[in-house]
Chains A and B, each alone.
Chain A
């Protein structure tokens, strides 16, 4: 048996850049990840024409899921127009022939770095999150063999200890992103470095979320209608960022996650982080026929 007898070089084998065996493996691992929500599944993680740490995990999942009819949207920190998002979007379109969009509502497949769009995702949409570090136990247990035993035993006491230490030292939970969350009452996962604002969007969501770390060669998933509960003390409630009262300086939108833009005089203005939602809000204000989807937050409160 030789490598050439195992591998065929005909055209459809490399549709969407990845070869069929790589896709087959990632599909299997995605199915496993869906079957055991929040549990990390190792995968080989092929080379893609992008540096590790720039979204290779998310890209491999997207390349596996994409087909010529899939409408693809790529965002980076909420923005469609960042260099990274634009590069990945163009690459996906080039290798698969799939149409692309900036509109969350039109997309079938959304690859995102560090944000979940403000408009609610539907059951027919898939969200792929790029993950730099999939192991929530790493800050408390650097030995990955022991960390895996801790996952097997649901030994998550030290995750609360981390929160305890933050409250003792700073008076409040300081975990701004990658907030550890219990999935389906069993596995603690890191929801990728999305802000605390976005974590509740994963709870009992209609859409499938796949979280993939290319450098770390692991993926995990939050299937539709799955409980995602941020770790909290019974007497210290979970808090999202206080952005409810902030108003977007460009679109006038209020009650969404904002980017802070420091000004020369020391003050700050704010701009909605979900750039597509901001653009749609501006266009609607100008009188254009724009469909704004239902949002997870209304007036800064989770609906």
Chain B
């Protein structure tokens, strides 16, 4: 199923991300059903849906951690061409290390909890081939500063930090190499409301300052409303509605979306 998204201000641009007819099953469970999406440079696509709707699975496929049963995925980048799902493990790793950043819901998935915070960011730079200690330190500090992480805790291991700080370290790690695409999987879940607001402010500012293309997954409509330009609503692995964020929130068409929006409001 292809959703024609109404995005007039971007209509002339070439999409950075194009995923077509992506499906994925785990045994009898079809986690993602025929999902297609396009994300334009500098745009934020929000994916909402209840737990088990397939949004995180779709995001993991965009991060090349999972291979779908069917479908194609392309990024409009000079160094890659063709269906990214067909890349071998090494090429996937290098592409993800250099061009795609991800922030997981669970910091344990994205961070080495007993290494220093700066080391966690430096790891990403090391994978990309940086081998100068001073450069690593400077760039890690810059990325952490951009994520509004207190620099006096530069070398504190994430295990000693609060959830919000851990998410900032993840964010710094994700943006350290100026990724073409930033994927966010429930970045504020589990944080208290005030910390959520701070992390969202940071994300918004980063997106505006650096014009980063983002795909954010959340079951929290407030988060999506704050950040996303366009929204894709998923249910039982399929897209039920997609459109501009304002359209979706003000005039939801699908019954499920109406239910979601009204539940939130």
Interface residues of A (CB under 8 A from B): 149, 153, 155, 157-158, 160-161, 164-165, 167-169, 233-236
Pick the contact of A235: B115, B126, B132 (CB < 8 A): B132
- Residues of chain A lying within 8 A (CB to CB) of residue B134: 235
Chain B's closest residue to A235 (CB) is: B132
- What range describes how many residues of B lie at the interface? 10 to 19
Q: Tell me, in angstroms, the Cα distance from A155 to B126 when the chains sit together.
A: 10
The answer to whether A233 touches B118, judged by C-beta atoms less than 8 angstroms apart, is no
Pick the contact of B93: A155, A167, A235 (CB < 8 A): A155
- Answer whether residue B90 sits at the interface, using C-beta atoms and an 8 A cutoff: yes
The answer to whether B155 touches A158, judged by C-beta atoms less than 8 angstroms apart, is no
User: In the complex, what's the smallest C-beta–C-beta distance from B87 to chain A, in angstroms?
Assistant: 13
Q: Tell me, in angstroms, the Cα distance from A164 to B155 when the chains sit together.
A: 11
- Answer whether residue B116 sits at the interface, using C-beta atoms and an 8 A cutoff: yes
Chain A proximity mask over B133-145: 1 for CB below 8 Å, otherwise 0: 1111000000000
- Answer whether residue B3 sits at the interface, using C-beta atoms and an 8 A cutoff: no
The answer to whether B93 touches A165, judged by C-beta atoms less than 8 angstroms apart, is no
Interface SS of B by simple majority: helix
How many A-B residue contacts, CB cutoff 8 Å? 46
Chain A proximity mask over B25-57: 1 for CB below 8 Å, otherwise 0: 000000000000000000000000000000000
The answer to whether B123 touches A235, judged by C-beta atoms less than 8 angstroms apart, is no
Interface SS of A by simple majority: helix
- Answer whether residue B80 sits at the interface, using C-beta atoms and an 8 A cutoff: no
- Answer whether residue B158 sits at the interface, using C-beta atoms and an 8 A cutoff: no
Pick the contact of A157: B90, B126, B133 (CB < 8 A): B126
Chain B's closest residue to A155 (CB) is: B93
Q: List 10 A-B contacts (CB under 8 A).
A: A161-B115, A164-B119, A164-B122, A164-B133, A165-B116, A169-B155, A233-B133, A234-B133, A235-B133, A235-B134
Chain B's closest residue to A161 (CB) is: B123
User: In the complex, what's the smallest C-beta–C-beta distance from A154 to chain B, in angstroms?
Assistant: 9
Q: Tell me, in angstroms, the Cα distance from A99 to B10 when the chains sit together.
A: 83
The answer to whether B132 touches A165, judged by C-beta atoms less than 8 angstroms apart, is no
User: In the complex, what's the smallest C-beta–C-beta distance from A3 to chain B, in angstroms?
Assistant: 41
Q: Tell me, in angstroms, the Cα distance from A38 to B112 when the chains sit together.
A: 27
Pick the contact of A161: B119, B135, B155 (CB < 8 A): B119
- Answer whether residue B108 sits at the interface, using C-beta atoms and an 8 A cutoff: no
Chain B's closest residue to A163 (CB) is: B133
Q: A149-B89, A168-B118 are in contact. Are A157 and B132 (CB under 8 A)?
A: no
Pick the contact of B90: A153, A161, A168, A169 (CB < 8 A): A153
- Answer whether residue B131 sits at the interface, using C-beta atoms and an 8 A cutoff: yes
Chain A's closest residue to B127 (CB) is: A157
Q: A149-B89, A158-B126 are in contact. Are A165 and B133 (CB under 8 A)?
A: no
- Residues of chain B lying within 8 A (CB to CB) of residue A160: 126, 131
Nearest 7 Cβ contacts at the A-B interface:
A157-B126, A233-B133, A157-B127, A234-B132, A153-B90, A235-B132, A160-B126
The answer to whether B116 touches A168, judged by C-beta atoms less than 8 angstroms apart, is yes
Within 8 A of A (CB), among B88-103: 89-90, 93
Pick the contact of A234: B89, B93, B119, B131 (CB < 8 A): B131
The answer to whether B93 touches A164, judged by C-beta atoms less than 8 angstroms apart, is no
User: In the complex, what's the smallest C-beta–C-beta distance from B15 to chain A, in angstroms?
Assistant: 30
Q: Assuming A165-B116, A233-B131, A233-B136, what are 12 further A-B pairs, CB within 8 angstroms? A: A153-B89, A155-B127, A157-B126, A158-B123, A161-B123, A164-B119, A165-B119, A168-B116, A168-B118, A168-B119, A169-B155, A235-B132
Q: A153-B93, A168-B116, A168-B119 are in contact. Are A161 and B126 (CB under 8 A)?
A: yes
Q: A160-B126, A233-B132, A233-B133 are in contact. Are A165 and B89 (CB under 8 A)?
A: no
